[in-house]
Amino acid sequence: MKKIAVFASGNGSNFQVIAEEFPVEFVFSDHRDAYVLERAKNLGVASYAFELKEFDNKTAYEEAIVKLLDEHQIDLVCLAGYMKIVGPSLLSAYEGRIINIHPAYLPEFPGAHGIEDAWNAGVAESGVTIHWVDSGVDTGMVIKQVRVPRLAGDTLDTFETRIHETEYKLYPEVLELLGVEKKEDG
């Protein structure tokens, strides 16, 4: 069975969706006060958190993450609102084993503000993308994408809500596609 770890920086709503359907070995956050850690506790999932500023440099920070992944024999890292760029140390150790979810239809609107950027551009539709992580920002090979239309009467909030709802459907689909087994019932 593939062992997965989920990385998140904040709220952790995508982590929650994943952890309710799939066995998650642990969640990692780069913020010690992130709500995702509370979600993990409530779901009985192990969690770890440390911050870049606690290390001498990004290499040392990522080496600590790689050590954690290796100790747990993680097969697939699922970035779910993890707001750090994956650097060379982590990427070289886990290349081809890290996926990311992005709230836009890549290559449109890469970066940290995909939903807001799409909204401000006035597009008729945006979407959600899950892709392999490479050395670029949201440039890795696409695994699966779904379009999300901008409806008449939408506000930024309603548009954002529909994009997040799409994320919650897409991540489990992709994990199944990649051979991650769902939790056994009972």
- What's the pLDDT band for 90 if we cut at 50, 70, 90? very high
What's the rounded mean pLDDT across residues 2-27?
A: 97
- Dihedral of CA 73/78/82/83: which sign? positive
Report residue 82 as tokens: 């993890």
Q: Which residues pair with 77 in a beta bridge?
A: 5, 98
pLDDT digits (tens, 9 = 90+) for 103-124: 999 999 999 999 999 999 999 9
pLDDT digits (tens, 9 = 90+) for 143-179: 999 999 999 999 999 999 999 999 999 999 999 999 9
DSSP type of residue 153: T
Residue 185: its pLDDT value, please?
65
State the pTM of this model: 0.96
What's the rounded mean pLDDT across residues 12-26?
A: 97
- What's the pLDDT band for 184 if we cut at 50, 70, 90? confident
pLDDT > 70 fraction of the chain, expressed in percent and rounded: 99
φ and ψ at residue 70, rounded to 5 degrees: -65, -45
Given the residues 31, 72, 102, 164, the one annotated as active site: 102
| Residue 157 burial class via C-beta count within 10 angstroms: exposed 0-12, middle 13-18, buried 19 and up | exposed
Q: Of 34, 132, 150, nearest to 91 (Cα)?
A: 132
- What's the pLDDT band for 72 if we cut at 50, 70, 90? very high
Our answer to whether residue 31 is catalytic in this structure is no
Residue 140: its pLDDT value, please?
96
The vertex-107 CA angle with 154 and 58, nearest 5°, equals: 105
The answer, yes or no, to whether residue 12 has pLDDT greater than 50, is yes
Residue with tokens 């006035």: 122
Q: Find the largest Cα–Cα distance for the chain.
A: 50
Question: Is 177 within 8 Å of 78 (Cβ atoms)?
Answer: no
